[in-house]
Amino acid sequence: MAKFQVNILGCGSATPTARHQPSCQVVDFRDKLFMIDCGEGAQLMFRRLGLKFSRLNHIFISHLHGDHLFGLPGLLSTMALHQISGSVTVHIFRDGARLMKEWMDFFNRNSPFEIIYDIIEEGERRIVYEDSGLTVETFPLYHRTPCSGFIFREKPKQRHLRGDAVRFHNVPVSQLKNIKDGGDYVKDDGTVIPNAMLTTDADPSMSYAYCSDTMMDKRVAADIKGVDTVYHEATYDDSLEAMASERGHSTARQAALIAAGAGAKRLIIGHFSKRYNSEEILLKEASEEFPDVIVANEGLRVDLE
């Protein structure tokens, strides 16, 4: 059964609080796990949600502020203790890779798995991961330090076979994959059976954009144009818009305007300032600009399909 799901492990900003942990998410795509950012406490929430270290092979770090990566050395050390094999690729800026190498060489010399560092360059737009069903691409965000967002795009799915038509035309099993991929069926006598007679439309492919720390910028909406679900930081409410701009952050309303500008269908807001005892005001302000807003919370799972 195909699955495309976002797990929220942390949605607070700056420091852990009694209500929220720093930024961390795990995308589950058909049982392959992809972590985005790794704040303190990430591995604890990872275990509480019943996720498996053995399925985690790619970690994407948006930028080099502590609340987005202080959990990474501990997570990798725990994975080593669990005798995880193979490799783990960390997608990270160059200075972060240098620091992580020094840390892991000192504390984790005998790791049973290889750590591969994929260097993200400032302002870069490229595909950093691809398999048969998914791509992950980077795009720039606009914070106080170089910062990257990530888009997870499901590749086009196969069309659905019409069993009655397949049987009627005696289509051999060897031709079914080609037909599901959109090909016509050519009989031995040269008769062409159009694909539209043998199949129905494929299920839509889903996409997810992760917009970490960033001030409001229309270039973000342009880079994520057409995605289905957007996660966008919403650190402050309207009354603190000037502070948001000064610190390279966004308000909840601004997050909603970016999602609307991108033509998204759903918005998840997070990265909440510790000043809030409730996210009600952030939800209210975002909902005034965008119809479908979800407030992130630790343990929340959002199905993308």
- Which distant-in-sequence residues (6+ apart) come within 8 Å of 164 by Cβ? none
Sequence letter at residue 233: E
- SS3 state at 293: strand
CA-CA distances (angstroms) from residue 143 to 94, 147, 187, 198, 247? 17, 6, 59, 51, 8
Marked catalytic residue, from 37, 67, 228, 237: 67
Residue 44 CA to residue 263 CA, distance in Å, equals 35
CA-CA distances (angstroms) from residue 165 to 51, 180, 201? 42, 13, 15
67 is a catalytic site residue: yes
Report yes or no: 234 and 270 within 8 Å, Cβ to Cβ: yes
- Which residues are identified as catalytic? 67
